[in-house]
Structure 1
Amino acid sequence: MYRIGSISKIFTVYTLLVNYGWEHWNDCIMEYLPELQDAADLNHDPSVAHVDWSKITIGDLASQLSGIGRDYDVPQCGGNASMPPCNRDGIVLLIHVAHHSYSSLLFLEYFHGLLGRAPVFAPQTTPVYSNTAFRLLGYIIQAISGTRLDKLLQSSVLRPLNLTTTTYAIPTDRGSWVIPNGESGWYQDTGDETPTAGIYSSSSDLAKFGRDILLSTQLSPIETRRWMKPSSHTSGLSLSVGSPWEILRSKSKITHGRTIDLYTKSGSIGQYNSLLVISQDYGVALSIMTAGPSSAAVIEVASEMVLQTLIPTLEDQTLYEACKSLCGTYQSSDPSKNSSLTLSMDTNGLQVERWINRGVDFLAVIQAYASQTGSPFIHMILQTTNLEYPPNIQGKDVTSRRVAYRAIFEKDMSDSTGQHRIVDQSARQWSSVDTPMYGEIAYDDFVIYFDHSGVAFAIEPRVMRETLYKVDGGAGNSPHSTQVI
């Protein structure tokens, strides 16, 4: 077990989504935090010294778009290694001993001090990393549920997912704890800061949690896809922010290849540094955990080494597995029609290499049309759509599934002048999906049929109103393979 620092934020948001979905996402936070009502009288203040809490939603907190500051610490509390966590409210009397004389210091705690802090940005301006936002989110989840967050996390997330070495509180049952020498931060009481940085977990639990997110174990697939999206961009070209994902954009071969997104969350507390990485492109989750006085430098080097090696390997394996299932030639069951289609795989992905329809080279037809419109292409790549249909082919049910694909016509984006272009020409390709059409069906609309073992045995270019069956490339357990061959 390690401390996972700010990866705790993922557990906090996940708890909210598992229990309430997006029901409260756009609610104003003042509905759930009565302490913020005290700030209402400040709204008439024409200065920029006070946060307008009435403009901040729960989703703003979760996506780092609230505009409020990173932390709130005062000299007498803060939840770090040397100070106790600030209470939610109330007044604390501190007795300070100095040269045998006693002095008392009255101070207002968390909310009383927080209301005096100036905003950093107006809400929904730009992402600002805020631990304060997730502490408030913890309070809000408790207000909505009427249950302490630690109990809700345990009952709705940790227990159902069997995350037995993940805990909200400081562990008490002796286990495989990783505690560096010195002031490690292991026993640091984070109090109400736990939703933002206080949870403990293990490398196996954290990776399993990432896998469960990918598999939509508790959230529905559409809820998972909605959650794993950017909310805003940062000043860096390769980093966007989600809720509360830190989304890194890279290439499948590191320096070249297709664009991939890594949904990550880093964490740091005391001598602990950790990283969770989830890749929807490859269906993989991994965790990296370090502890010790140089753990910050170590995890930076370790994560780069792991990803530099892992991403190209996963890309090659993904292409290999996809080709094993999909590559091959598909033909009409009526040889007189002279209709066939060949799928192959290269570094760009699943490619329509050859397409003959009733003796006509249809790829050449599409290329001629594209050239006339000034948009010639070099590759016709099939991309999955997350749309699946009940199995039914030629009026007969089979143990298969039908998956919809769309063709992406990749163009040569090189500039003959060699000059750098501000407007990347590839950025326009997204607007060409679902065109052109013939008889109300787009040319790029395909359905592929898979047998029970996951091997493709038929493809339907829907614009042709015909299904083609695999005749080579590993037809697998296709119910039609014997008949066609």
Structure 2
Amino acid sequence: MAGFLLGPTFQPPSGLLNSLDVRAVTANLSTSLIQAINHGHSSYGDFAADSSSISITALSTQDDQNSPLFDFHFSSPSLNQSAGSTKTVTNTSMYRIGSISKIFTVYTLLVNYGWEHWNDCIMEYLPELQDAADLNHDPSVAHVDWSKITIGDLASQLSGIGRDYSYGDLASLDIPWTEAGLPPLSPDDVPQCGGNASMPPCNRDEYFHGLLGRAPVFAPQTTPVYSNTAFRLLGYIIQAISGTRLDKLLQSSVLRPLNLTTTTYAIPTDRGSWVIPNGESGWYQDTGDETPTAGIYSSSSDLAKFGRDILLSTQLSPIETRRWMKPSSHTSGLSLSVGSPWEILRSKSKITHGRTIDLYTKSGSIGQYNSLLVISQDYGVALSIMTAGPSSAAVIEVASEMVLQTLIPTLEDQTLYEACKSLCGTYQSSDPSKNSSLTLSMDTNGLQVERWINRGVDFLAVIQAYASQTGSPFIHMILQTTNLEYPPNIQGKDVTSRRVAYRAIFEKDMSDSTGQHRIVDQSARQWSSVDTPMYGEIAYDDFVIYFDHSGVAFAIEPRVMRETLYKVDGGAGNSPHSTQVI
């Protein structure tokens, strides 16, 4: 599908909040969540949410930041007000976000230094590693070769180092493990720090002393291994590069400029907005130098705003944002890839069918807190889901499915509608004697060239005949945006408008008449056919669409024809049919 090949098919839809369909769906979603909470179950599994508080906020890049696309909150009756918890949860109520902290850590590095240090060896910034064992003299697999690991390896979970030092080590728990068949340990082998409920966090010296004794899991750049250690080291590295403590750098370069007022590096000091469930919640757990990997606090509003600011390239440039939001490696799951440190989910726009879409996500868990940040480039939407309570892990799993399975098809429909409202219609040459026209329409596959006549010739039939001769017949000619855009020069007229480059994707019939399962996906070769064939050094698939000041298309230029066609029906907006476009 088009989205599978090159990325977002259309510009994010505008005015989501004003769409009656979207508002109706989100209202129904709220009702479904309340019913699931009341009944204790949903179609996706048990939903014992009465013991867990929930905050869900979705923001669109096209709408007012103070008016969420979706906003749902449930206040558990089990909130611990004596510990400082709020009684009523809202979108500014503060949760622990666990490993979503990793996104803030990488973002802080990119905002301040871009990709300047991405390929630097981490030993340059961590003197403790320079005293580590030199693998040139120790060929065993018991030591990490730190000289082979870069900052980018840490950020993309490709360093090959272990998940943690000490944190979660069973030996630190007061349990007779020898009776379970494990060997006795010397006191030196039992961690004395860790940062969990039973031990204080390790200071830097303690941490490196223990870490350097751990074996690698894989060689660097072999396969992704989830590593909290990598982001603790990344925190030290950012401090070494900047000469500033990470908490201060985060505050000055990210939180304050983005106005993220309910996001903090340390335990918040002002009561009144905390979400603290009963029991050993983990709210007051001191994560020490583990904060870059799992210690930050935030609210559903702030987290959604942060995701939206990433989509809007508020601080990073658009190209830096696109470079960051890419997979670095794949996992054993067909639908999950890993970025820096994105957890990238692949789905269909209609859940079970439709075009392929990517959801850039990051999950987090600490104590009784579970959270999820979802960013969709296809729809220009950022979604945060936060839960707190003894059932929070199960609740966020079900809530995520309920929200995503409802919103994704709705956003897809709205995207298609918005795109058609702007683009659909017939475009003709300003010279009737040429008999040249092109019709754009919309279906579930996307924006397609339905009819293309050039100088009286059915040019779609010509392309189809050529494709059949080369063994590549197609059923749809889909237009897709390219992130190439520039203002037009309209001779003799000052029009506030813009030009956007599109490429055509020739979509094939993927059905298999033999009924056999194929290892080689027939759509996988489509990416290699972009920008071909050419005629006079311009490809058949190269189009430029002209938009007026209101975002409605008024002209299209199939560049291979060396002619601009103007819209004659199918949409409103400025249509300067007699104006020559240069």
Cα offset, 1:293, TM superposition: 0.3
Cα offset, 1:477, TM superposition: 3.0
Q: How many residues align structurally? A: 466
Tell me how far apart the structure 1 counterparts of residues 576 and 194 of structure 2 sit (CA, whole Å).
Answer: 66
Contact 2:491–2:580 (CA under 8 A) maintained in structure 1: no
2:134 maps to 1:134: no
Tell me how far apart the structure 2 counterparts of residues 395 and 466 of structure 1 sit (CA, whole Å).
Answer: 18
Cα offset, 1:480, TM superposition: 4.0
Structure 1 residues 42, 425: CA separation in 2 closer, same or farther (over 3 Å shift)? closer
**Which consecutive residues of structure 1, in runs of 5 or more, have no partner in the other structure?**
90-108
Cα offset, 1:80, TM superposition: 1.2
Contact 2:544–2:559 (CA under 8 A) maintained in structure 1: yes
Cα offset, 1:481, TM superposition: 8.6
Contact 2:490–2:580 (CA under 8 A) maintained in structure 1: no
Structure 1 residues 438, 180: CA separation in 2 closer, same or farther (over 3 Å shift)? same
Per-residue deviation, residues 130-165 of structure 1 (Å, max 9, x unmatched): 000000000000000000000000000000000000
Contact 1:469–1:484 (CA under 8 A) maintained in structure 2: no
Per-residue deviation, residues 363-421 of structure 1 (Å, max 9, x unmatched): 00000000111111000000000000222135654210000000000001111111011
Structure-2 residue corresponding to 1:83 = 199
Per-residue deviation, residues 94-142 of structure 1 (Å, max 9, x unmatched): xxxxxxxxxxxxxxx1101100000000000000000000000000000
Per-residue deviation, residues 308-360 of structure 1 (Å, max 9, x unmatched): 11110000000000000000000011111111000000000000000000110
* 1:426 alignment partner, SS class: coil
Structure 1 residues 185, 340: CA separation in 2 closer, same or farther (over 3 Å shift)? same
Contact 1:391–1:397 (CA under 8 A) maintained in structure 2: no
Cα offset, 1:173, TM superposition: 1.3
Per-residue deviation, residues 5-24 of structure 1 (Å, max 9, x unmatched): 00000000000000000000
Contact 2:491–2:579 (CA under 8 A) maintained in structure 1: no
Contact 1:378–1:410 (CA under 8 A) maintained in structure 2: yes
Contact 1:436–1:442 (CA under 8 A) maintained in structure 2: yes
Cα offset, 1:46, TM superposition: 1.2
Contact 1:67–1:122 (CA under 8 A) maintained in structure 2: yes
Contact 2:564–2:581 (CA under 8 A) maintained in structure 1: no
* 2:107 alignment partner, SS class: helix
Contact 2:96–2:366 (CA under 8 A) maintained in structure 1: yes
Per-residue deviation, residues 407-452 of structure 1 (Å, max 9, x unmatched): 0000011111110111111100000000001111000000000001
Contact 2:548–2:554 (CA under 8 A) maintained in structure 1: yes
Which of residues 118, 128, 143 in structure 2 aligns to 1:35? 128
Which of residues 356, 359, 378 in structure 2 aligns to 1:281? 378
Tell me how far apart the structure 1 counterparts of residues 360 and 320 of structure 2 sit (CA, whole Å).
Answer: 16
Tell me how far apart the structure 2 counterparts of residues 383 and 395 of structure 1 sit (CA, whole Å).
Answer: 30
Tell me how far apart the structure 2 counterparts of residues 213 and 460 of structure 1 sit (CA, whole Å).
Answer: 32
2:113 maps to 1:20: yes
Per-residue deviation, residues 192-214 of structure 1 (Å, max 9, x unmatched): 00000000000000000000000
Percent of aligned pairs with the same residue? 100
Contact 1:51–1:68 (CA under 8 A) maintained in structure 2: yes
Which of residues 257, 278, 285 in structure 2 aligns to 1:160? 257
Contact 1:135–1:193 (CA under 8 A) maintained in structure 2: yes
Contact 1:167–1:201 (CA under 8 A) maintained in structure 2: yes
Cα offset, 1:41, TM superposition: 3.6
Contact 2:100–2:362 (CA under 8 A) maintained in structure 1: yes
TM-score, normalised via structure 1 length: 0.94
Contact 1:333–1:484 (CA under 8 A) maintained in structure 2: no
**Which consecutive residues of structure 2, in runs of 5 or more, have no partner in the other structure?**
1-93, 167-189
Q: Which has the higher contact order (CA 8 A, sep 6+)?
A: 2
Tell me how far apart the structure 2 counterparts of residues 35 and 43 of structure 1 sit (CA, whole Å).
Answer: 18
Structure 1 residues 410, 42: CA separation in 2 closer, same or farther (over 3 Å shift)? closer
Cα offset, 1:478, TM superposition: 3.3
Per-residue deviation, residues 238-275 of structure 1 (Å, max 9, x unmatched): 00000000000000000000000000000000000000
Tell me how far apart the structure 2 counterparts of residues 217 and 484 of structure 1 sit (CA, whole Å).
Answer: 32
Cα offset, 1:39, TM superposition: 0.8
Following superposition, which runs of at least 4 residues in structure 1 exceed 6 angstroms of deviation? 481-485
Tell me how far apart the structure 2 counterparts of residues 463 and 30 of structure 1 sit (CA, whole Å).
Answer: 53
Per-residue deviation, residues 181-233 of structure 1 (Å, max 9, x unmatched): 01100000000000000000000000000000000000000000000000000
Cα offset, 1:474, TM superposition: 1.1
TM-score, normalised via structure 2 length: 0.79
Cα offset, 1:174, TM superposition: 1.6
Please give the root-mean-square deviation of Cα atoms over the aligned residues, in Å.
Answer: 1.7
Structure 1 residues 206, 484: CA separation in 2 closer, same or farther (over 3 Å shift)? closer
Contact 1:214–1:280 (CA under 8 A) maintained in structure 2: yes
Contact 1:32–1:144 (CA under 8 A) maintained in structure 2: yes
Question: Which is further off, 10-19 or 166-175?
Answer: 166-175
Tell me how far apart the structure 2 counterparts of residues 459 and 159 of structure 1 sit (CA, whole Å).
Answer: 43
Tell me how far apart the structure 1 counterparts of residues 428 and 144 of structure 2 sit (CA, whole Å).
Answer: 66
